[in-house]
Amino acid sequence: MARPRQFNESDLLDAATELFWSKGFDDTSVEDVSLAAGVGNGSIYAAYGSKRGLFLAAFERYCDRRARFVRDVIVAAPGTARAAVRTLFQAVVDDCASYPDRRGCLMINSIALFGTRVPEVATIGTRSTTAMEHGVAERLRPAMQAEGGVDEAALSALSAHIVVVAQGLIQLSRLGTPAARLREIAEISCEALPPEWADRLVTA
C-alpha cells in the first residue's frame, strides 16, 4: 500500500508550475521546488520519481486547467456565437496582460522545448488542445444547428481554428505585442465567422 503524502500536493504543484513556467525545465531543479514549496527533496522524489515526473504532473495539471478555462469561458458567454468567441479572445488577452513577464503558455513552451524527446508532453498537449476544441464546438453547435444542421467536419475545423488563434494571441503577447493589437487580430477572426449562423441568438 502506498504511503499517504505528507504534504499538500496542490501547493507543491503550484510552486513547481510557477518555477518551470518562469525559469524553464532545464534551469529549475528539484531543490528549487523543494525550497519554494517547503517540501523535502526526499518526499518529492518518493512521490514523483524524478524531476521529469514532477514536471509531467505539474504540466498535466496546467494543461487540464487551460482546457477548462477555454471551455468555461466560451460555454458561459452570453449572446451569439460570434459574441462568445469574442469573449473568449478577450479573456485570453486579459489573461496575457496579467503576466507582465510575458512568459507565454507553458503548454506551447514545453512542446517547443521537448519536441519528441518527451512523448508524454505531446500526448498531454494534444489531449488538452482537443478538449479546448470540443469546448468551443459545444458553444457553436446550437447556432449551427438552428440554421439548418451541423456539418461536423466544418465545426471541428472552425473550432480548431479558434483555438489556434487563441494560442497565437498568447505567443504574440510573449513577443511584446500590445493588447490593442491583439484585440485587432482577434476581431478579424471573429468577423470571419459565417454570419448566417454566427449572429443567431440561440436561447435555451
Q: Are residues 96 and 176 in the same domain?
A: yes
What is the pLDDT averaged over residues 146-158?
Answer: 91
Give the structural domain span for 143: 60-198
Alpha helices, H only, the chain: 9-23, 30-37, 41-48, 51-76, 81-97, 106-114, 119-146, 152-174, 179-191, 195-198
Q: Among residues 158, 159, 70, 170, which one has the least CA distance to residue 111?
A: 170
Report the C-alpha gap between 170 and 112 in whole angstroms: 14
At residue 40, the 3 state secondary structure works out as coil
Tell me the per-residue pLDDT of 13-50, one tens digit each, with 9 for 90 and over. Answer: 999 999 999 999 999 999 999 999 999 999 999 999 99
Compute the mean pLDDT over every residue in the chain, rounded to the nearest whole number: 92
Q: Are 186 and 169 in contact (CB under 8 A)?
A: yes
Residue 45 lies in a domain: yes
Q: Are residues 144 and 90 in the same domain?
A: yes
Residue 78 lies in a domain: yes
Q: Are residues 32 and 96 in the same domain?
A: no
Residue 75 lies in a domain: yes
> CA distances (Å), 166 to each of 25, 33, 101, 137, in order?
24, 30, 19, 14
Residue 85 lies in a domain: yes
What is the pLDDT averaged over residues 66-91?
Answer: 97
**Residue 61 clears pLDDT 70, i.e. is over it:** yes
**Hunting for cell 482546457 — which residue is that?**
67
**Residue 183 clears pLDDT 50, i.e. is over it:** yes
Q: Are residues 81 and 13 in the same domain?
A: no
Q: Which residues contact 71 (CB under 8 A, 6 or more apart)?
A: 131, 132, 134, 135, 136, 138
Domain count, the chain: 2
Q: Are residues 141 and 173 in the same domain?
A: yes
Q: What is the pTM of this model?
A: 0.91
Q: Are residues 80 and 180 in the same domain?
A: yes
| Residue-wise DSSP of 28-39 | --HHHHHHHHT-
**Residue 147 clears pLDDT 50, i.e. is over it:** yes
pLDDT of 1 reads 42
Tell me the per-residue pLDDT of 86-126, one tens digit each, with 9 for 90 and over. Answer: 999 999 999 988 887 768 899 999 999 998 889 999 999 99
